[in-house]
Structure formats: structure tokens, C-alpha cells
Amino acid sequence: MVEEGGWQRAGGENTEIPEPDFDDPEGFVDDISNDELLPDMMAKAPREADGIENVVIIDGIPKTEKVAKLKEKLDGIWAKMAGVPIYQEFPTEMAPQKKSGEMMEHTKGYCFLEFEDEETALRAMENLHKYAFDKKHVFCANLFTDFEKFEATPETWVEPTRKQHEDMGNLMQHMEEPDAFDQFIVTFADGKQTESYLNRRPEIELLHSRKSWTNRGVDFSPTGKFVATYHDQGIALWVYTPQFAASQSKARGIWSRSHRFKHDQVDNMQFSPDERYIVTGNGARGDAHSTVIIYDVWSSQEKRKFTVQTGETGHMEWPHLKWSADSRYFARQTEDTISVYELPACGLLDKRSVKCPGVRGFSWSPKDNYIAYWVPEQGEAPARVTIISVPRRHEIRVKNFTMSTTSKWRGRTRARTSPCAWIDPSRARGAATCPHSRSST
């Protein structure tokens, strides 16, 4: 070695410096992962999903050699159902044409749509999922970021274990109370104590007392058959079973648990009028979006999920979904639109929403499948109340008003329905609502 200015020169004075060899020796096994070796750097490494949260995969499009014609037709569907994507890609492959056998470019049956942001992509996925392109093709829409979920799907299907049926008795026996006394539930001590009572006369009767039964109050179903309790993991439904009063189990007693529905950090819930479905909702938590889930009570299966923008407040308006009186439909309001969904498939009615520019609120009729929606004054245009029929979407009546801020919808229960509007100019904001109907002689 020769020192030059404090440095050592490798290979001698007149030789070139050999290139170092970084190859591992033969038989070397690296048993240290990058996460263990460089934890700080790997924590900052970009994830595989970074930058693709706004990409939607549409599966189920036709496989055809008429690529340009297919794109033209799909562009119309994107614009109507999801908004115009900023980029779209249709993977193709060479395949023989059916008639001539000539090799031509064909679509592979799926495409990628990139939208402006993640929220637009979420709405597009919800609107395009299960959309019927024609009799043979139904779209299946998923976010690109869901690929990890599908990768974790086991290759072999395992039949789920059938839950053993347990007879709960007559779930409507609370309606057979001889003196028709109602039950009510009180939650106190910051929600840590819950008691249910029978509203007897002259003194009320304590039926049930329990600690930490619910996180935030309880809700009765429309007929009182179910009581819903709130928990960090979701909603539990309970039924009145006095025959189990002596049970020491937490799931059995005066009120016995019949169903559980998972929805983390749930804030709200709602029953459909016929108690066949429940709707659960939670507010935004940090970067997470607010979500609304519809469950079938009979099967405990999730029917549909919506991702909801909550704005600056972080809270969504509740109830987010509004039900028709016969529970055949539910509707939700978004910007300038009202979307009506049909049960039990929970699909968008006629695959399109009702356009209502400037809509501020809506309500179902308490008897018939009519929707009344309200649009406030805009410049010189007066406020407007419109009543439409469902499912035909026919406009039953349109009425303009001035100096109005809210409206209510009234109808007769006998003979034909005769809607009329009630205007309240004193409220700063409001919505078209449908109070109970009045009888006409």
C-alpha cells in the first residue's frame, strides 16, 4: 500500500483499482428481511397501493373486436352513472374472429377507469357495480386497492357452519299484554346502566336492569319486536323473552340477543318500516370515510354499502336513507340528485337517479310510493315543491312558492291521495317532509 496525501491507494502504485465484488458467496442464505434490517427506511417506502386509490376496475364488459364502438357506448354509461374518468384503459389481446378466423384485437372483458379523486372513484364503484350492460353482461366494479382482499381469498371453498336454530318463542308476546301497558327503557349514569320498565298503573314495574348493555342508548323497532344496542364492533338486536328470565347468560334473559351486525364505531341505526332491514352508519374517523350499511335482518347478510362525504363537520345527516311506507324502496340524496333503490336487490331503480338541481330535502308519502322534494329560491327563480311517483317517476304536481324555506307533505288516507304543501317561512332551512295522513269522510 502507498499513501498519497493521507489516502491509501489499492493495488500498488502503477496498477488500476479492481472493481469490488458485491455478489453473495455460493450457498449464502439471507435470513434477515429488509424490514428487520432497515425498519426506519422501509416504514417510509411507498406502498404498492399509493396513487391508485382513484382507480376502479370494471369487470364483465363484452369481449369484442369492435373496440372503438364499445368505448363509445361505454363513455355514455360512464358519463351518466359515474362521471367522466380522466383516463381509461381497455386491455386487449389477439384472438381469431368468429366468422373469418382472422386474428384481430379483442377486449379482454375488463377495463380500468381513473377518476379525479378517491371519493369520485368510490361513487363510481357504487353506481356501476351490478349495472346490467345488456342481457349477457353485468358489471362487477371494484377499487384497484381491493386486490389484496382478493389475493387473500382461499383457493378451496369451505362450506360455512350452519347455525343451530334456537326457538325464541313468540317474538310478539309483548303485544299481548292484557292491559296494553307499554314498555320503555332508560339509560343513565353516562350510559353505563340500562333499565327496562313496564308502564303499569299506578306504579311502573322494573323488568330488567343491566350494566354496560349499550354504548349510547337503545332503539326500538317500529313494532317493538326488537331492541337495538350500540357497541364498538356494531349493532346487536334483542327480543323480549320473559321465559328466559332466570338465565345467567349475558345473551339470554328478559331480553335475549337474536342478531349481531358488524360496523366498527357505529353511531346511528335505523329500521325499515317492516323491520326486514336495518341501516347502520358511522361518522368519519381521521382519514376514514363515513359509511352506511344495509343489512337483511332475516339472513344477517350485508346488502349494500355506501361511502358518504361528511364535509367539514365530519358528521353526516341522519337518517341518511329514507324508506317508502311499504319498504319496497329506499332513497338517498346527493348533490342535485335523489337516488331510489329497489329491494331486495338494493339496485338503483332503472339504473339512473332522479335529477333535481338544487334539491335541499325530500320525503316519502306515509301511504303511497310518492316522493316530495323541495328546491329553495335561487336568484329570481321561486322555491319549488315537486311530487313524483315511484317507480314510474311521473310528476304528480309541481308548485312554485316565494319566501319559503321548508315544506311538508300531507295526503288523505281514504279514496284517492290528494297531496298538499305546507310552507313554513320562519325556518332558515328545511326539507320536504311527509307527516301522517288525515282521514277524509
The CATH number linked to 93 is 3.30.70.330
Q: Which residues 6+ apart lie within 8 Å of 273 measured at CB?
A: 222, 323, 324, 325, 326, 327
DSSP-derived secondary structure letter, 159: P
Assess if residue 219 is contained within a domain: no
Q: Please answer whether residues 278 and 271 qualify as being in contact, where contact means their C-beta atoms are separated by less than 8 angstroms.
A: yes
pLDDT at residue 145 in the model: 78
Tens of each residue's pLDDT in the chain, 441 residues = 444 444 445 445 555 566 666 677 777 777 777 766 666 666 555 544 445 778 999 999 999 988 899 999 999 999 888 888 988 999 999 888 878 888 889 999 999 999 888 778 888 888 888 888 988 999 999 888 777 677 777 888 888 887 777 788 888 888 888 888 888 999 988 888 999 898 988 899 998 888 889 988 899 999 989 999 999 899 999 998 888 888 777 788 888 899 999 998 898 999 999 999 999 998 755 555 688 999 999 988 999 888 887 655 556 778 889 999 999 999 999 888 999 999 998 888 887 889 888 898 899 999 899 999 989 888 888 888 999 999 999 999 898 877 555 555 555 544 344 555 555 554 434 444 444 333 332
In a domain, 333, yes or no: yes
**Predicted confidence (pLDDT) per residue in 281-322, tens digit:** 987 555 556 889 999 999 889 998 888 876 555 567 788 899
Domain stops at, among 95, 124, 151? 151
| Single residue among 151, 173, 193 that ends a domain in this structure | 151
Domain count, the chain: 2
Looking at residue 399, its pLDDT comes to 87
What sign for the dihedral angle of Cα 121, 125, 126, 132? positive
What contacts 284, CB < 8 A, 6 or more positions away?
A: 290, 310, 314, 315
pLDDT given for residue 270 in this prediction: 95
Local structure of 243: helix, strand or coil: helix
Q: Which domain holds residue 411?
A: 324-441
Number of other residues whose CB lies within 10 A of the CB of residue 88: 17
Residue 290 lies in a domain: no
pTM given for the model: 0.64
Residue closest to 357 by CA, chosen among 372, 371, 336, 338: 336
Q: Is position 156 within any domain?
A: no
C-alpha cell of residue 359: 334539491
In sequence order, what are the residues at sequence separation of 6 or more whose Cβ sits closer than 8 angstroms to the Cβ of residue 190?
none
Whether residue 44 is contained in a domain is answered as no
- 425 residue type, one letter: P
| Angle between helix 67-81 and helix 118-128 axes, rounded to 10 deg | 110
The pLDDT, as a whole number, for residue 22 is 65
Residue 331 placed within a domain: yes
- Helices and strands in the chain: count of H runs, count of E runs: 5, 31
* The pLDDT value given to residue 143: 85
Listed residues 151, 166, 184: the one ending a domain: 151
* C-alpha cell, 8: 491509501
Is residue 433 a part of any domain in this protein?
yes
Residue 213 inside a domain? The answer is no
Q: Which of 260, 267, 310 is nearest to 288 (CA)?
A: 310
